[in-house]
Chains A and B, each alone.
Chain A
């Protein structure tokens, strides 16, 4: 057995209820290399790294660290084995100083119980200086810019005897200069023999920093290659090679009048810049892009949940005021079916019936008085139409399966008699049968002249269901495609930085 690997993962499998998140994955890491892990949203990269960092226990497979088999999976063991991870969402304590954050789990002691603050700050200063970072160790973590917070996370990992550093999309919020700074640090780490696992969606970074690359797709291992032996085109092809199964049921028709129009929309808070798009009656328009591209943020701005400073949103021919609330938008016929149905779409501890009527109480009960019969009629109609499988409408929403929960969310919005519906990841985490039903229902909706904007990270879903597709990247719409000309490769390369030119795609 070779033991010159820092990390060897063999046949790792992890099953979540209803999903095989990791299916027989192999992965190795050599000392001093940068190994890039690549895959679409939901390919299983983060799950694999969480296994490595001890956040998840795999259901099958072995993990070797420097040739020794690891049997305990918890973050403390992982740390002892020299594995450090920087998660996409930072874990800094906002109202502690930079130094306190860096030494959060082993502050230098003084007289047994106290913390030697002076020494801690000196150590932190030295560490940051060695990293050529201009950060005040006394500053509060919440006071320093995001890029520096990222560096603090790196510094925090370095205070341990580090052998492996996992970085999950570290450059997502960094500027070009800061990225180069980060790369410098990464290079100095690899020089010391530390192995770095690097997750990124930016193709151009891969050739800059990566030595080897492993591609994953749908929880499966696809291949590992040397970066110098591959090309961006090949990488994209390997990433998206998913089959389009015949789930999608569309009766395409000529689109009607414009139902929703967005022009030059800017939002400071959500960093949306100059977004423009339109949606016609009878149309399903797909909104594609990677996580963080700004798709959900755009939807929330259109729905007036989050503010925008500039730009016009015109709904069914009427210009919306920036000050309007979601309630106003619902009254005018817009619905937003949020991506996180458990946190935003449903109240899990309320019965199905109450969830279904929640957004339309004032429509059904105009005088504030609950009219039970009218509610029941509405509830029963949609339970039947959408084929929600439940013993009774009084069942708590939390007791339903994912697919049925999603149908309840759908029913809730159909109840408002919306004309324009935004679906955010309409089929995430639900089984194929329910998926198919939801697709058929969406088709039914646009047939009756409604308009649908569908945000989705599943490219086959985008291509299979949409009439047109907008691709977002870095909080902008970068491309509009007709679905009959769109391919998964095209969409993913527009969605990722360093896109391959159009001509080469066509050829």
Chain B
């Protein structure tokens, strides 16, 4: 109960941002607050939510993963190859997840066993993952046409947002892992006080490794849904996703380097980002300007977020 309360105490400022933006957009356009548009938003935001959750885990543990976009791309490519090879859908899902898991395991190995800096390590592996995706696709997107598979990411009967439903399941899975497993606890323990965690008998090296592997795994799952939604595995699809995932994580109230945060908060960050992006189209902000506007709003939101949490902590 206290936990829910403290979560809510920490987030109102970003909720206000979301509310204000929705009101603003729906005043400017009667197309905005329609069922159809909301379904589109859900479909768009849901994959990002899963990737951002992966990022949240890594950041709470005191790390950083810049390779999530690369993992997303590469896992999408292997999943597309699998479905086009005629493999059954569960196997395709496993293929994507396993690809992500392997990528994450590599990150974790380099960071926790070899002791490299997360920033530079994942910057490097990002290049490797994109490169492999380019090689596997020969620079061309791989289209997928299996009906059953595509329905995983589509709007069934124009009303059931399958991508959102699948991703919601993955997101709930991430929440359960955070709140109800040792992995979740150890993520906080390591991020908050790594030496203290080690002295408590936690194998910090192993668990840091697992955190990266888990982040890769989640991203791999998200990749499968993304391919199903786009009906193509594009070798550059993941560009900038890692940064958006990090932005959403921070917007959601997770802090870097102090082991504080919550996967549950991350959904707010994703909501904000998705709403801005779609809203800018609705109110016809020229596409050349959109990126700058989005960046500004994110920074504003974070400034408010940080200043309010700082005040809250002093009390």
List the B side residues contacting A331 at CB < 8 Å. Answer: 201
B239 at the interface (CB under 8 A from A): no
Of B3, B180, B202, B259, the contact of A358 (CB 8 Å cutoff) = B202
Contact A305 B188 (CB under 8 A): no
- Shortest Cβ distance from A326 into B: residue: B201
Contact with A along B1-40 (1 / 0, CB 8 A): 0110000000000000000000000000000000000000
Q: How far is the CA of A436 from the CA of B179 in the complex (A)?
A: 37
List the A side residues contacting B189 at CB < 8 Å. Answer: 347, 350, 354, 358
Contact with B along A371-382 (1 / 0, CB 8 A): 010000000000
Contact A327 B192 (CB under 8 A): no
Contact B201 A354 (CB under 8 A): no
Size range of the interface on B?
Answer: 20 to 34
List the B side residues contacting A344 at CB < 8 Å. Answer: 193, 195-196, 199
Q: How far is the CA of A348 from the CA of B189 in the complex (A)?
A: 10
- Within 193-241 of B, Cβ neighbours of A (below 8 Å) are at 193, 195-203
B185 at the interface (CB under 8 A from A): yes
Contact A349 B199 (CB under 8 A): no
Q: How far is the CA of A365 from the CA of B203 in the complex (A)?
A: 16
Q: With both chains docked as a complex, state the minimum distance between the C-beta of A209 and any C-beta of chain B, in angstroms.
A: 38
- Shortest Cβ distance from B190 into A: residue: A347
B132 at the interface (CB under 8 A from A): no
For chain A, the count of residues having a C-beta within 8 Å of the partner chain is 32
Contact B192 A347 (CB under 8 A): yes
A158 at the interface (CB under 8 A from B): no
- Within 169-183 of B, Cβ neighbours of A (below 8 Å) are at 179-183
Q: How far is the CA of A370 from the CA of B199 in the complex (A)?
A: 21
List the B side residues contacting A372 at CB < 8 Å. Answer: 180
Of A325, A326, A336, A343, the contact of B193 (CB 8 Å cutoff) = A343
Contact B200 A359 (CB under 8 A): yes
List the B side residues contacting A347 at CB < 8 Å. Answer: 188-189, 192-193, 196-197, 259
Number of A-B contacts (CB under 8 A): 80
- Shortest Cβ distance from A305 into B: residue: B199
Contact B195 A343 (CB under 8 A): yes
Q: How far is the CA of A346 from the CA of B199 in the complex (A)?
A: 10
B168 at the interface (CB under 8 A from A): no
- Shortest Cβ distance from A413 into B: residue: B200
Contact A345 B196 (CB under 8 A): yes
Of A348, A359, A370, the contact of B192 (CB 8 Å cutoff) = A348
Contact B180 A338 (CB under 8 A): no
List the B side residues contacting A412 at CB < 8 Å. Answer: 200
Contact A327 B181 (CB under 8 A): no
List the B side residues contacting A326 at CB < 8 Å. Answer: 198-201
Contact A361 B196 (CB under 8 A): no
A161 at the interface (CB under 8 A from B): no
List the A side residues contacting B198 at CB < 8 Å. Answer: 305, 326
Q: How far is the CA of A354 from the CA of B183 in the complex (A)?
A: 13
Contact A329 B196 (CB under 8 A): no
Of A325, A327, A354, A370, the contact of B188 (CB 8 Å cutoff) = A354
Given contacts A325-B203, A394-B2, contact A358 B197 (CB under 8 A): yes
Q: How far is the CA of A354 from the CA of B202 in the complex (A)?
A: 14
Q: With both chains docked as a complex, state the minimum distance between the C-beta of B201 and any C-beta of chain A, in angstroms.
A: 4
Given contacts A346-B193, A350-B192, A392-B2, contact A370 B201 (CB under 8 A): no
Contact with B along A142-176 (1 / 0, CB 8 A): 00000000000000000000000000000000000
Contact B180 A369 (CB under 8 A): yes
Q: How far is the CA of A232 from the CA of B207 in the complex (A)?
A: 54
Which of B183, B192, B201 neighbours the largest number of chain A CB atoms within 10 Å of its CB?
Answer: B201
Given contacts A347-B189, A347-B193, A368-B183, contact A327 B199 (CB under 8 A): no
List the A side residues contacting B193 at CB < 8 Å. Answer: 343-344, 346-348
List the B side residues contacting A350 at CB < 8 Å. Answer: 188-189, 192, 259
A362 at the interface (CB under 8 A from B): yes
Q: With both chains docked as a complex, state the minimum distance between the C-beta of B7 and any C-beta of chain A, in angstroms.
A: 12
A330 at the interface (CB under 8 A from B): yes
Given contacts A392-B2, A394-B3, contact A369 B200 (CB under 8 A): no
List the A side residues contacting B200 at CB < 8 Å. Answer: 326, 330, 358-359, 412
List the A side residues contacting B199 at CB < 8 Å. Answer: 303, 305, 326, 336, 338, 344-345
Q: How far is the CA of A392 from the CA of B197 in the complex (A)?
A: 23
Contact B180 A327 (CB under 8 A): no
Q: How far is the CA of A365 from the CA of B184 in the complex (A)?
A: 13
Contact B192 A368 (CB under 8 A): no
List the B side residues contacting A336 at CB < 8 Å. Answer: 199
Contact B185 A370 (CB under 8 A): yes
- Within 253-289 of B, Cβ neighbours of A (below 8 Å) are at 258-260
List the B side residues contacting A325 at CB < 8 Å. Answer: 201, 203
Given contacts A305-B198, A326-B198, A326-B199, contact A362 B188 (CB under 8 A): no
- Shortest Cβ distance from A370 into B: residue: B180
List the B side residues contacting A416 at CB < 8 Å. Answer: 201
Which of A327, A369, A392 neighbours the largest number of chain B CB atoms within 10 Å of its CB?
Answer: A327
Q: With both chains docked as a complex, state the minimum distance between the C-beta of A215 and any C-beta of chain B, in angstroms.
A: 36
Contact B196 A369 (CB under 8 A): no
Q: How far is the CA of A305 from the CA of B194 in the complex (A)?
A: 13
Contact A327 B202 (CB under 8 A): yes
Q: With both chains docked as a complex, state the minimum distance between the C-beta of A298 and any C-beta of chain B, in angstroms.
A: 15
Q: How far is the CA of A358 from the CA of B189 in the complex (A)?
A: 8
Q: How far is the CA of A369 from the CA of B200 in the complex (A)?
A: 19
List the A side residues contacting B180 at CB < 8 Å. Answer: 369-370, 372
List the A side residues contacting B195 at CB < 8 Å. Answer: 343-344
List the B side residues contacting A346 at CB < 8 Å. Answer: 193, 196
Contact B182 A330 (CB under 8 A): no
Q: With both chains docked as a complex, state the minimum distance between the C-beta of B116 and any C-beta of chain A, in angstroms.
A: 20
List the B side residues contacting A392 at CB < 8 Å. Answer: 2
- Given A347-B196, A369-B181, list of 7 further CB < 8 A pairs? A327-B203, A338-B199, A343-B196, A347-B192, A347-B259, A349-B258, A394-B3
Across chains A and B, which 6 residue pairs bring their CB atoms closest together, nearest first?
A330-B201, A347-B192, A359-B200, A327-B201, A394-B2, A370-B180
